[in-house]
């Protein structure tokens, strides 16, 4: 039977997001028992124990629909950031906030400014709306916010800045972000995606976006996620913070029950688990330094990372390395979809996972252990 209708024109050039390969799929495909995943920047310590305990306590309440606007989590986030609940929207991952921003503000032919090797979901989502995506070159693998400001015009609706950026691991300073906010037309919303905030926030010069910058700039939206430092990627919760009127538009068009009840409850508890987050960030720092030293010795090239992953130029093409490591039971992320065939992104694991990575790399690159 032939398919009877046609999708929207804008969708014809849109390619689906390629997530990191899952452990289960590698086990199935290669018949391996032990597989280490270092491909999606998840938390190798697992979930926040407080969040996991709250999730387990839910039982009977799962028969009922959750409250649609996640009011308890929204209030908890507002207290956490010293802002009003009306400034916060909770989403099915920060991915949903990206989608809502595009659906709420981008008409076909509007412009959306992104960075050349910025997080790929921004341009995918903008393209789905039929927007003109303006891709601005990076400088030293870092967003060039001056150039991005120059690229913005009165037709620009959104300027997406992942800070720090995935996949390059670099960050922009508060001064650079302030200058961008001042330089873009007031009708352009600047979206700061701070998915890796916990790993970067102590770096001198890194922006204090919440609550300070959001209070000062009505054209700023900040996004954060529970998927990284809180260890809750599987629950799918992220949030956006900005001017209440802007947030109101996103709230109006979100799915009626966009965040599940267990996810809402667990995230309220996760916010209280600062001890866990501290442990995760500390382990990441020591392990990242260790993995970087070893990778450097194996011929990889890279700069500093402000995140829980390393962005590395591989001694062999990235996809070849990816495939060879898969056969050793280690999943990393090739970056050809970012136009970077020689690079890979490697999440920092717990010590045992990193040891497995290093052993597999030595095998693949035929280096004596
Ligand atoms: C920069 C950036 N933004 C957003 C996301 C999506 O996060 P979430 O799990 O909250 O949808 C990711 C996930 O890797 C990311 O790296």
| Distance between CA atoms of residues 242 and 220, nearest Å | 6
| Distance between CA atoms of residues 3 and 232, nearest Å | 39
Q: Is the CB of 227 under 6 A from ligand 1?
A: yes
Beta-carbon contacts of residue 81 (< 8 Å; ≥ 6 apart) = 88, 210, 211, 241
CATH class belonging to 13-47+274-364: alpha beta
pTM listed for this prediction: 0.96
- Kindly give the distance from the C-alpha atom of residue 238 to the centroid of ligand 1, in angstroms, as a whole number: 8
The CB-side HSE value for 80 (13 A sphere, CA atoms) comes to: 18
For atom 3 of ligand 1, the residue with the nearest CA is 195
Would you give per-residue pLDDT tens digits along the chain (369 residues)?
A: 678 888 898 998 888 888 888 999 999 999 999 999 999 999 999 999 999 999 999 877 889 999 999 999 999 999 999 999 999 999 999 999 999 999 999 999 999 999 999 999 999 999 999 999 999 999 999 999 999 999 999 999 999 999 999 999 999 999 999 999 999 999 999 999 999 999 999 999 999 999 999 999 999 999 999 999 999 999 999 999 999 999 999 999 999 999 999 999 999 999 999 999 999 999 999 999 999 999 999 999 999 999 999 999 999 999 999 999 999 999 999 999 899 999 999 999 999 999 999 999 999 998 776
Q: Counting beta carbons within 10 angstroms of the beta carbon of residue 325, is it exposed (0 to 12), middle (13 to 18) or buried (19 or more)?
A: buried
> Which regions of the chain does DSSP assign to beta strands (E)?
36-37, 88-92, 111-115, 132-136, 138-139, 142-143, 156-162, 189-193, 220-225, 237-241, 309-313, 330-331, 333-334, 343-347
Q: Is the CB of 225 under 6 A from ligand 1?
A: yes
Beta bridge partners of 134: 113
Task: Provide CATH code, domain 49-270.
Answer: 3.40.640.10
Q: Do 309 and 348 form a contact (C-beta atoms < 8 A)?
A: yes
Q: Do 99 and 261 form a contact (C-beta atoms < 8 A)?
A: no
Domain boundaries, the chain: 13-47+274-364, 49-270
Q: Do 143 and 118 form a contact (C-beta atoms < 8 A)?
A: yes
- What atom in ligand 1 is closest to the CA of residue 236? 9
């Amino acid at each position: 039977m032939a398919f009877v209708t046609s999708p929207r024109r804008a969708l014809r050039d849109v390619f689906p997001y390629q997530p990191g390969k899952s452990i289960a799929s590698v086990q199935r495909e290669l018949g391996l028992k032990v597989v280490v995943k270092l491909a999606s920047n998840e938390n190798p310590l697992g979930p926040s124990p407080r969040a996991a305990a709250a999730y387990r306590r839910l039982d009977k309440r799962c028969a009922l629909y959750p409250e649609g606007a996640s009011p308890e989590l929204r209030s908890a986030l507002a207290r956490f950031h010293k802002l009003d609940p009306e400034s916060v929207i909770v989403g099915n991952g920060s991915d949903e906030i990206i989608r809502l921003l595009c659906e709420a503000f981008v008409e076909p032919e509007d412009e959306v400014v992104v960075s050349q090797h910025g997080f790929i979901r921004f341009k995918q989502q903008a393209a789905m709306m039929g927007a003109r995506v303006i891709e601005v070159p990076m400088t030293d693998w870092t967003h060039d916010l001056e150039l991005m400001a120059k690229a913005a015009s009165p037709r620009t609706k959104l300027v997406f800045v992942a800070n720090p950026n995935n996949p390059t691991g670099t960050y922009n300073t508060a001064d650079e972000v302030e200058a961008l906010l001042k330089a873009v037309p007031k009708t352009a919303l600047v979206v700061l995606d701070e998915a890796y905030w916990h790993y970067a926030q102590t770096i001198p010069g890194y922006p204090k976006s919440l609550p300070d910058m959001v209070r000062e700039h009505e054209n700023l939206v900040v996004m954060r996620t529970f998927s990284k430092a809180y260890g809750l990627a599987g629950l799918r919760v992220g949030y956006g913070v900005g001017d209440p009127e802007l947030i109101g538009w996103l709230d109006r068009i979100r799915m009626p029950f966009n965040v599940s009840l267990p996810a809402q409850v667990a995230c309220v508890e996760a916010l209280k688990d600062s001890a866990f987050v501290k442990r995760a960030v500390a382990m990441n720092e020591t392990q990242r330094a260790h993995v970087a030293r070893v990778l450097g010795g194996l011929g990889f090239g890279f700069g500093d990372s402000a995140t829980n992953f390393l962005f590395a130029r591989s001694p062999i093409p990235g996809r070849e390395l990816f495939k060879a490591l898969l056969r050793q039971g280690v999943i990393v992320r090739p970056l050809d979809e970012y136009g970077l065939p020689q690079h890979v992104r490697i999440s920092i694991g717990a010590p045992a996972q990193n040891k497995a990575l290093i052993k597999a790399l030595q095998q693949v690159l035929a280096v004596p252990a």
